[in-house]
A and B are shown apart, each in its own frame.
Chain A
Amino acid sequence: MAASAARWNHVWVGTETGILKGVNLQRKRAENFTAAGQPRREEAVSALCWGAGGETQILVGCADRVVRHFSTEDGTFQGQRHCPGGEGAFRGLAQADGTIITCVDSGILRVWRDNDKEASSDPLLELKVGPGVCRMRQDPARPHIVATGGKENALKVWDLQGSEEPVFRAKNVRNDWLDLRVPIWDQDIQFLPGSQKLITCTGYHQVRVYDPASPQRRPVLETTYGEYPLTAMTLTPGGNSVIVGNTHGQLAEIDFRQGRLLGCLKGLAGSVRGLQCHPSKPLLASCGLDRVLRIHRIRNPRGLEHKVYLKSRLNCLLLSCRDNWEDEPQEPEEPNKVPPEDTETDELWASLEAAAKRKRPDLDQTQGAVQTKQRKKKRPRSTSP
């Protein structure tokens, strides 16, 4: 039952203890999935991305440099691929045409063939991006274009089918008013759909827009928000703004055409590690070090929709981009099967009943308890002597 319900999970979250959590907001359940059955800190999830074939497969990049394949249809880990080379955790994971693109902290970007063989074959392509990479992002429109950036590692856009040199290499802004060099710390990068522009957010609380199509290698627009490093960023549906999060848990929506702050979102108490907006609905999923996954509504009205306490520190998340968030119930399958044979349906009903009974003990067990805004439980406690 858990296996088939896994495909209806809305959000997939990776934790520091190596557990992949699937959260179903409709049924208000969170489930844990581990490769080895036990959580292991060595398998801390550092990157998540959708695999090939729609949203049926997830690629989970772990701290032990293994990329594991997780099937949402079955709810199990299916294969894994060891991706050695370089040092540090995965900073970016992407897949394109049956290949996996990985980038690690020390700046080794490799393209691997995605086969199920566990033997680590040589990478198809290797690029040295420069040390201190904080993020590698793939252009959703052109899967062979990736961008990398990091601490003292300026934004570079690479074409994996092209040459070994980056297609676009950003230049640092001019020296500031004290004639000091402005340090670089690109924490997150997003490609703007419909154009070649890129947006980055930095650890020095700046949000910058770059345009490779223009002759200017310096940022086209720069704004600042807050006083703390910005750690995560996502584009909003509607296309004019981005939402950024910083290490204090402050979320802000910034219009990158005018460079002004549109509004803030409240609720997070810890550093924001993962942010993703739904492509059509005005919903934002955020996760952070305070161990809570929050879904906010971005407009009319701006506020918190769901809050889920997941017991470990959350590293990254994947939001399902499908349009219908209602569960597909099991019943529609029934009418197809009833006419041919009756005995099969009896078995089916029996299995359904058993599953329904199993659900309640599942809810009672140690799995995340989902709490929506409407359900606030007040439990009076007796004074202890």
Chain B
Amino acid sequence: MARPGEKSGGSGKKSLKGKAATEKPQEAAITGDGATENEVQPPKSAAFPPGFSISEIKNKQRRHLMFTRWKQQQRKEKLAAKKKLKKEREALGDKAPPKPIPKTIDNQRVYDETIVDPNDEEVAYDEATDEFASYFNRQTSPKILITTSDRPHGRTVRLCEQLSTVIPDSHVYYRRGLALKKIIPQCISRDFTDLIVINEDRKTPNGLILSHLPNGPTAHFKMSSVRLRKEIKRRGKDPTEHVPEIILNNFTTRLGHSIGRMFASLFPHDPQFIGRQVATFHNQRDYIFFRFHRYIFKSEKKVGIQELGPRFTLKLRSLQKGTFDSKYGEYEWVHKPREMDTSRRKFHL
């Protein structure tokens, strides 16, 4: 009598857990009786029928108990194994084998044959004569037009304003429901080199179309995680008019190269280091993270950075040859989720 009472009352205690474990199979045998004749509990380890697993226990509390006990045991064993390994390494000293590198998805990336070799002449020629050649040969300097989809809401408008402070020589225009195909010839005649359209859905910006102007490629991105200046914690003062430096990280494949060059051609050639501002496009696992910082060298080796400006994440949806023409244009690369996203270790940028 006392025992069942004890069991139900003190189910959280460790000592009881052992008894609960030992009692259960025995109880199964004497349920019919209802009598607690086996009051003497031999302090042996539990005798479970073979093939028994914790998930078969129907009582949730007891099952949870058993599981937490098992987990603690696993953790103890793991800790013991680690300590043992560490001791062995210290004992070996210099002769210890090098530490194994942990596997990450970036580590395990499937080999992509389109990764550009820096010495490749054909790719070098292709890039030297592509649509961005006039920018990289310093024949043109960028002039950007930033606009949105029709009737933008506050967040999008503010994002456009902040983007125009980040990108020098950029102009924000209200869309007024005009068709892009009519805007583009006007831009070309006024010497704009790039067009940025921020698409908005349900009062938040969610897409970016970047079109290089004379006849250059058009990239369509999904935009997410947009943070305006006031939403960024511990940020610095507003950016100045200095031309920022650009960092393009991890654009390794041929497609990545094209997109990287597109981003690079948005900014004027010569950064003004006095301004200490830097815009970063960091590609990781096909997501491009845009950040805008101001840095300061506190000493020779220590740098402090302040995040300024807006922050957002982009994912490439399609790259179309020619200016914006989604219906009849020819696509250089289209993201097809069911064909391209089958492997978690394969990336395209």
Residues of A within 8 A of B (CB): 17, 19, 32, 38-39, 41, 203, 227-229, 231, 247-249, 266-267, 269-271, 289-291, 309, 311-313, 366, 369, 371, 376-383
Contact = CB atoms under 8 A, between A and B. Distances in A.
Contact of A366 (B103, B117, B336, B339): B117
A381 B332 contact: no
A269 B333 contact: yes
A309 B348 CA distance: 14
Given A228-B327, A371-B113, A376-B110, A269 B122 contact: no
A345 to B, nearest CB: 38
A378 B120 contact: no
A270 B339 CA distance: 13
Nearest to A271: B330
Contact of A378 (B108, B119, B333): B108
Contacts of A247: 328-331
A383 B103 CA distance: 9
A267 B121 CA distance: 27
Interface stretch (B123-131, B222-230, B285-293): B123-131
A362 to B, nearest CB: 15
Contact of A271 (B104, B120, B121, B332): B332
Given A381-B109, A382-B101, A383-B106, A311 B123 contact: yes
- Name, among A17, A38, A267, A269, the residue most crowded by chain B CB atoms within 10 Å (CB to CB): A269
A289 B330 CA distance: 8
Give 6 closest A-B pairs by Cβ, nearest first: A271-B330, A377-B111, A379-B111, A289-B332, A309-B113, A311-B122
B235 interface: no
B120 A312 contact: no
Interface residues of B, number: 33
A291 B331 contact: no
Given A309-B113, A311-B123, 15 more contacts: A38-B125, A39-B125, A41-B129, A229-B328, A249-B334, A270-B330, A289-B330, A289-B333, A291-B114, A312-B126, A366-B121, A376-B110, A379-B111, A380-B103, A381-B106
Nearest to A377: B111
29 contacts: A17-B125, A32-B122, A38-B125, A39-B126, A227-B327, A247-B331, A249-B336, A267-B339, A269-B334, A269-B336, A270-B331, A270-B332, A271-B330, A271-B331, A289-B321, A291-B114, A291-B254, A309-B113, A309-B114, A311-B120, A311-B122, A311-B123, A312-B126, A366-B117, A366-B121, A376-B111, A378-B108, A378-B111, A381-B106
Contacts of A371: 113
B100 to A, nearest CB: 11
Nearest to A310: B122
A366 B129 contact: no
A41 B254 CA distance: 18
Contact of B122 (A228, A271, A312): A312
A247 B328 CA distance: 8
Nearest to B122: A311
Interface string B91-111: 000000000010110111111
A182 to B, nearest CB: 16
A381 B107 contact: yes
B340 interface: yes
Nearest to A247: B330
Nearest to A381: B107
A270 B329 CA distance: 11
Interface of B: 101, 103-104, 106-111, 113-114, 117, 119-123, 125-126, 129, 254, 321, 327-334, 336, 339-340
A313 B258 CA distance: 13
Contacts, number: 86
A227 B334 CA distance: 14
Contacts of A290: 332-333
Contacts of B321: 271, 289
A297 B103 CA distance: 36
Given A41-B129, A366-B121, A380-B103, A289 B110 contact: no
Contacts of B119: 366
A21 to B, nearest CB: 10
B113 to A, nearest CB: 5
B339 A380 contact: no
A359 B90 CA distance: 50
Given A269-B334, A366-B121, A311 B103 contact: no
A167 to B, nearest CB: 31
B27 to A, nearest CB: 53
Nearest to B102: A383
Contacts of A17: 122, 125-126, 129
B334 A380 contact: no
- Name, among B119, B121, B329, B331, the residue most crowded by chain A CB atoms within 10 Å (CB to CB): B331
B254 A311 contact: yes
Nearest to A382: B101
A369 B332 CA distance: 20
B333 A39 contact: no
Contacts of B126: 17, 39, 311-312
A267 B336 CA distance: 9
A378 to B, nearest CB: 6
A117 to B, nearest CB: 31
A291 to B, nearest CB: 6
Nearest to A203: B328
Given A269-B336, A289-B321, A309-B114, A248 B331 contact: yes
B333 A270 contact: yes
A184 to B, nearest CB: 14
B120 A383 contact: no
A366 B327 CA distance: 36
Contacts of A382: 101, 107
A41 B106 CA distance: 36
A233 to B, nearest CB: 16
A231 B103 CA distance: 44
B40 to A, nearest CB: 59
Nearest to A379: B111
Nearest to B104: A383
